[in-house]
Structure 1
Amino acid sequence: MNRLFMLLMFGCTFFSAISQVLLKQSANRTYKHPIFEYLNWRVVVAYGIFFAVLLTNTYAYTQVEMKYGPVIDAFTYVFVLLLSVGVLKEKINRGKLVGNLIIIAGIVIYTLP
């Protein structure tokens, strides 16, 4: 049963990354009035996703050992990097690459028996 909830948490990290990309897309646009910087579909959907992820992760933590939560959540940074390259057409610089490699190395080291 724990693996199912761990998979659910892993899926939530992906949706969290999607919401961050939506917020970035919204921030890159100009609006006629400052209120529309906060009240547009991208921002509303992104915060809706954040809220759903929060509720889902809170429930999933009742079934998953606490030590696995931060490891699973760290994948958000990797997903954000991949989505920013694919969706936002951003370039991967050395700092982003090294940072994500350190995150992946930490995940691998932590999960070794």
Structure 2
Amino acid sequence: MAYELSEQKKVGIGLLGFGIFFTFLGAVLFFDKGLLALANIFCLSGLAFLLGWGSLWQIFKSNYKGSIPFFVGMFLVFVRWPIVGIIVQIYGSVVLFGGFWSSAKVFLRQIPVLGWFL
């Protein structure tokens, strides 16, 4: 494998996977508030383990146009407005992590089966 993953990054990928799973499950179960709140916690902690606390703080600090909607959406999910919160949070995520799509595309093309489709 071209990339060697440390134990901390493996934990981050696992937490991020749980976050994505609970987001999907919460959306399928008619925007269940508890599952979506748990998904937010898993995703944020997974990103922190994957990128590192300092790097994650720099991303949120440097791009306030994406950080504010992301955290407002997270707050709305926590105060029981899940549909509005998820919409605002998706907008914040796209603005916040929009610069990473090109890097993610290069990484995904190296995966054997998925790379063939891309």
TM-score range, shorter chain: 0.3 to 0.5
* TM-score, with structure 2 as normaliser: 0.39
* TM-score, with structure 1 as normaliser: 0.41
Q: Which has the higher helix share?
A: 2
Question: Which has the larger Rg?
Answer: 1
| Higher RCO (C-alpha 8 Å, min separation 6) | 1
